[in-house]
Chains A and B, each alone.
Chain A
């Protein structure tokens, strides 16, 4: 584009200069791409190519990993996955996880951040503590949660001890009934995602213009009303961001479940969609990249749909002012 624009003017008078310029341009052009080359190689090889490939895989029926052959193309993989009870279980688990953890963790984080920004002493201590789960290994701390909630012949575990104080019977949260297992999974997921949400919301709250609050104070507005009418609208873009990333993150849940229930999630009835994809690929039930691809694309479609719905709904209610 750049080199073609001045052509008409330059062509007759100074051909040599123009040629020189073009040569330099070429060198410069090459340079830009040269700097990009490593990124292009890595992204192309490990992201763009896989993306196309995964689509191809998902339509190839009966793909054999060893001989790299397949019978034909079609939607069979999708239909297989959608009729697989393990996938349906994973779908159900993932949806429950999303519906429970996203609103709860966002609301709790909002409450905690509001509390944090209303105090002065000890604030940074609290902030530091709240952030700790972010820098811990999900698998490692999940093991601690498992031990806290597990009931074995040798011990009822810590949580059952507390339940006992309130007269509730001992429950095995790890190998026990489905609702109990789901409860622990949700709790652990919330514990893991809270730091990020608290951090983002605290800085959003701090950036609300103080003048609005002063004006409201002069009018004698109640605290609750200030929160509903000023704070909430002002931080609504941040809330939307957190809800969307929360949805995406929760739909991709996997290692939390592994941490609590071990790698054999299908037997534990605790598999998630991502877990299903990996199980199809690897492990005792693995070796089916076609099914894995179909499931992964289904996940992508679900996440994309939910994100679009989120954006559409929030577009009507969110305040994007200066």
Chain B
């Protein structure tokens, strides 16, 4: 009896000690974790500010009046008398609405054509059998390596010789083909079970109808993805439109911005310039906020930027 009591006491003591130690370790660990967490949040917030600040600055500058902006030798971080005058100027002094409309037309037509071409080609590669298919697909894959910069030169010469400079045709046609999207969609089409195709065949459905009524609806997420990616690409494209349009009537927003920077607004009207920048940036940001999930998933599957 005695012995066991002693043992128990001993055990309790030991246990108490380890318990204390545990608490100590736990406390220091909790502290360390807290410090780490604070640092993490601080770092993340810092980068968030770096990302957001240019946006803040452009909105801020766009609502400062011309005179107040120019009188600030030391730029102010806020303004007490916001004005929308600059936005009015942005739409009246330069053909901003025209740039906008051009970009919308360019983006919509290019994306539509790209979709038709891509869906048809992806279907052929994924579902149909024809001689030379493997060779054609290998060639297609090898085209993925070719940078756009390499083919722009000849396209520039071709479009110029065809007399298509400063036309929508000249702008759109060379921008349509997207090898990578064909590949992406083909992979997706192949995941659709064969049985669906055979069932449709037994029912006497034509290939085109099967494509339209079955395959495209099933693969909608991928199609939405490539549509959005292409639209973003079109909205931001600068090089090709710059090479091919001399006429301001056909400028896209990127070229418009460059034109505004170099010749618009009497050069030094920064607030009006910033108003134009805001107007140009807003549509994509709104699109992004609306389709955040789809866009981010799409980019992580098939996007690059460089």
A residues with CB within 8 A of B: 1-2, 28-33, 35-39, 42-43, 45-51, 53-54, 57, 65, 108, 111-112, 115-116, 118-119, 122, 126-141, 143-145, 147-148, 154-158, 161, 191-196, 199-200, 203, 223, 245-246, 248-250, 252-255, 258, 262-263, 274, 277-278, 281-282, 289, 292-293, 296-297, 299-300, 303-304
Contacts and interface: CB of A to CB of B under 8 A. Distances in A.
Given A130-B48, A137-B284, A263-B262, 11 more contacts: A38-B117, A47-B143, A51-B150, A131-B296, A136-B284, A137-B253, A143-B261, A147-B274, A192-B305, A255-B238, A296-B150
Contacts of A35: 120-121, 123-124, 128, 207
A115 B284 contact: no
B306 A139 contact: no
A54 to B, nearest CB: 5
Contacts of A292: 153
A54 B262 contact: no
15 contacts: A28-B129, A33-B130, A42-B177, A50-B153, A65-B157, A129-B51, A135-B284, A137-B235, A137-B257, A143-B261, A144-B58, A195-B305, A223-B36, A252-B306, A296-B152
B258 interface: yes
Contact of A49 (B36, B74, B154): B154
A205 to B, nearest CB: 12
Contacts, number: 271
B80 interface: no
B163 interface: no
Interface centre among B50, B253, B306 (most CB of A within 10 A): B306
Given A47-B146, A144-B277, A282-B243, A249 B305 contact: yes
**Residue of B74, B132, B140, B150 most packed against chain A (CB within 10 A):** B150
A109 to B, nearest CB: 10
A266 to B, nearest CB: 15
B74 A249 contact: no
A133 B51 CA distance: 7
B133 to A, nearest CB: 7
B207 A161 contact: no
Nearest to B306: A249
B155 A147 contact: no
Given A140-B280, A158-B75, A196-B303, A262 B261 contact: yes
B169 interface: no
Given A51-B151, A292-B153, A111 B43 contact: yes
Interface residues of B, number: 91
Contact of B306 (A45, A132, A193): A193
A50 B117 contact: no
A296 B149 contact: yes
Interface stretch (B15-23, B87-95, B214-222, B285-293): B285-293
B258 A139 contact: yes
B44 A46 contact: no
A281 B280 contact: no
Nearest to A29: B130
Contacts of B285: 132, 135-136
Interface string B143-182: 1011101111111111000000000000001101101001
A192 B238 CA distance: 15
A155 B303 contact: no
A289 B238 contact: no
B73 to A, nearest CB: 5
A300 B150 contact: yes
Contacts of B58: 141, 144
A17 to B, nearest CB: 19
Nearest to B211: A35
Given A32-B130, A134-B299, A148-B54, A297 B74 contact: no
Contacts of A303: 147
Nearest to B273: A143
A132 B55 contact: yes
Which residue, of A35, A47, A134, A193, has the highest number of chain B Cβ atoms within 10 A? A35
Nearest to B254: A139
A44 to B, nearest CB: 9
Best-buried of A157, A254, A255 by chain B (most CB within 10 Å): A255
Contacts of A156: 73-74
B136 interface: yes
A36 B121 contact: yes
Contacts of B117: 38-39, 42
A126 B235 CA distance: 25
A254 B242 CA distance: 13
Contacts of B174: 46
Contact of B155 (A29, A50, A203, A223): A50
B57 interface: yes
Nearest to A39: B121
B72 interface: yes
